[in-house]
Chain A
């Protein structure tokens, strides 16, 4: 019997600690997301807090992954905790999509969808490039 196509092979037991740190990191990241949305009110119907979380989170993940994959050899649980957990929990794609659907103004919805996308992708790229420059990687 082949195990090649079974995705559950390897999930236990060595994935136990990985899942635990992702749960802890995800909880922390969501707390931070809740904090930002409490501090930043919506401006003229524009979901400013989700916008800021997603753009900032993209920059931070780009920066983090260069550090973890190109500059350092971290403990194997660091990336799942900080990347998959904290920053994955801090940023959100579902709120982005639903917020665009529930805007009163179609103009604001389109502006929100496009502006988040452009600045988040620019943020990911900037995070990668900035850390590479500082760290002298590549």
Chain B
């Protein structure tokens, strides 16, 4: 049952990441990975909210492990950071990494504190 809920959440979370990324990148100047940043930061806040609350195991599997797990991504984040650095855009790479990690942890803590 847990497996099914995780798969179901992920089957929605991964395309949601694609749609949000496209919606964000269409609205901002190219050259900085705003799409992934918005996806990862909102996903951190959402998982913080889910993790702080006392939810049934099934809801955690669906929303947390499934949806938030697949909605957010480390692999695209890593690739984009390395790509920026590779194109000699070290400052943008550093900004991207710090905004993702510091912002992600801060939003996760905020979400967690709000519901726990």
Interface set of A (CB-CB < 8 Å, partner B): 5-8, 11, 18-19, 22-27, 29-31, 33-34, 53-54, 57-58, 60-62, 65, 80, 83-85, 87-98, 100-102, 113, 116-117, 120-121, 123-125, 128
Query: Given A94-B47, A98-B47, A113-B101, is A30 in contact with B82 using a C-beta cutoff of 8 Å?
Result: no
Chain B interface residue count, Cβ-Cβ cutoff 8 angstroms = 55
Query: Given A65-B79, A97-B47, A124-B82, is A30 in contact with B40 using a C-beta cutoff of 8 Å?
Result: no
Q: How far is the CA of A113 from the CA of B25 in the complex (A)?
A: 27
- Give the residues in chain B near A102, CB-CB below 8 Å: 51, 112
A93 in contact with B73 (CB, 8 Å): yes
- Give the residues in chain A near B13, CB-CB below 8 Å: 26, 30, 89
B11 in contact with A26 (CB, 8 Å): yes
B40 in contact with A57 (CB, 8 Å): no
A30 in contact with B26 (CB, 8 Å): no
- Give the residues in chain B near A58, CB-CB below 8 Å: 74-75, 78-79
Query: Given A27-B14, A29-B10, is A94 in contact with B44 using a C-beta cutoff of 8 Å?
Result: yes
How far apart are A99's CB and chain B's nearest CB, in angstroms?
9
Q: Is the interface of A mostly helix, strand, loop or mixed?
A: helix
Partner of B7, one of A31, A83, A100: A31
Interface residues of B in 16-64 (CB under 8 A from A): 17-19, 22-27, 40, 43-44, 46-48, 51, 64
B68 in contact with A95 (CB, 8 Å): yes
**Contacts between the two chains (Cβ within 8 Å), count:** 185
Interface hub of A30, A33, A34, A128 (most chain B Cβ within 10 A): A30
- Give the residues in chain A near B71, CB-CB below 8 Å: 94
- Give the residues in chain A near B81, CB-CB below 8 Å: 121, 124
How far apart are A36's CB and chain B's nearest CB, in angstroms?
12
- Give the residues in chain A near B101, CB-CB below 8 Å: 97, 113, 117
A88 in contact with B14 (CB, 8 Å): yes
Interface hub of B18, B70, B86 (most chain A Cβ within 10 A): B70
Query: Given A27-B14, A98-B47, A123-B78, is A93 in contact with B23 using a C-beta cutoff of 8 Å?
Result: no
Query: Given A23-B11, A30-B65, is A93 in contact with B79 using a C-beta cutoff of 8 Å?
Result: no
Q: How far is the CA of A123 from the CA of B12 in the complex (A)?
A: 27
Query: Given A24-B11, A34-B65, A97-B104, is A62 in contact with B82 using a C-beta cutoff of 8 Å?
Result: yes
